[in-house]
Structure 1
Amino acid sequence: MELSRASKLLLSTLLLLITVGCTAMVASSPDALRDMIGRDHMAGGLGTTEPALKARLNSQIDAAAEALASKAVHGASDAELLEEMGTRIAAIDRDSLDTENAEKVASAFEAMLEPLGLYSSDGLLNTWMYGFDPA
């Protein structure tokens, strides 16, 4: 049985949509967020070499990731997820960190957005990092 050109095009389009949909489901999965837990979020490049500070920041970032994944599994809205993220990052004293460490913390929180299905922190990360949202 030979498929017409239109049938082949329709089938190709359907397969593409299914593939993109499956990829999007994986990308916005709380499991992808939980995969971040236990990593050294402060590793590489410039940043703290103080073991106690590094451990504390990694612990706070991991706790945030776990709390956000749990909320996502229980169907939290985008606003609820951002509120939790705001609470978690606000618990990290920005003024006590140098720029490199603060950037690493902000980057770790930014990396949590996609697995949560969020496209923006709505200025939350800029406000924590710089004291205002320049956007």
Structure 2
Amino acid sequence: MRQITGIFWGLTLLIFTSCGQDQVKTPENALTEFEEFKLKEKFIEDNRLNYPGIADPKLKPILTKKINLSANDFKKLADKGTATEKQYQDAIKKGLDRFAEIYLEIDTEDRERVCIYYEELMNIVRLESSDGHLNNFMYGFDPTTK
């Protein structure tokens, strides 16, 4: 009987420690980095990325607003301190869905720049995968899946 009780408690402990394994620990400076991210000018020429700047200047404030809304989404999750990878990935999808109404107006280089901005947000919280959402946005499918 004692052995069964020990096994029961061992399995219980294992279950509790495995739950929440996909939680993203919020880095100490993340909230500040989100604010800095929102303040920086976006869609300007960047020679490091071979990005010539936004193709259609009328879209700059629209795209900037949509990216900054995603930064707010990430910040809210980070502020909770208990967000999971899936919650961040869902926030990426939600943010990218905001571009649907103007997707065809966004030139390829600007779509790439949108993805790079999302990668910057992911780096702030050390999220390693968008779960294919960036590939779906950029290419219409995720080339990493079969």
**TM-score interval for Structure 1 and Structure 2 normalised by the shorter chain:** 0.7 to 0.9
What RMSD over aligned residues (CA atoms) do the two structures have, in Å? 1.9
User: Which one-letter code corresponds to 1:34 in the other structure?
Assistant: E
Task: Map Cα deviations across residues 77-120 of structure 1 (whole Å, 9 max, x no partner).
Answer: 11111101110111113332111111111111111111122011
Written as runs of structure 1 = structure 2, the 5 A alignment for 1:26-105 is 26=28, 29-44=30-45, 45-74=51-80, 75-93=82-100, 94-105=103-114
- Partners of 2:31 and 2:127 in 1: how far apart? 12
TM-score w.r.t. the length of structure 1 is 0.73
Q: What is the aligned residue count?
A: 111
SS where residue 32 of structure 1 aligns?
Answer: helix
- Partners of 1:30 and 1:116 in 2: how far apart? 10
Give 5+ residue unaligned stretches, structure 1. 1-23
- Partners of 2:115 and 2:78 in 1: how far apart? 20
- Partners of 2:113 and 2:121 in 1: how far apart? 13
Partner of 2:137: 128
Give 5+ residue unaligned stretches, structure 2. 1-25, 46-50
Distance 1:83 1:46, change over 3 A: same
- Partners of 1:25 and 1:54 in 2: how far apart? 30
Residue pair 2:27, 2:125 contacting (<8 A) in 1 also: no
The percentage of counterpart residues that share the same residue type is 25
User: Which one-letter code corresponds to 1:80 in the other structure?
Assistant: Q
Structure 1 runs (4+) greater than 6 angstroms displaced? none
Partner of 1:25: 27
- Partners of 2:96 and 2:126 in 1: how far apart? 18
TM-score w.r.t. the length of structure 2 is 0.68
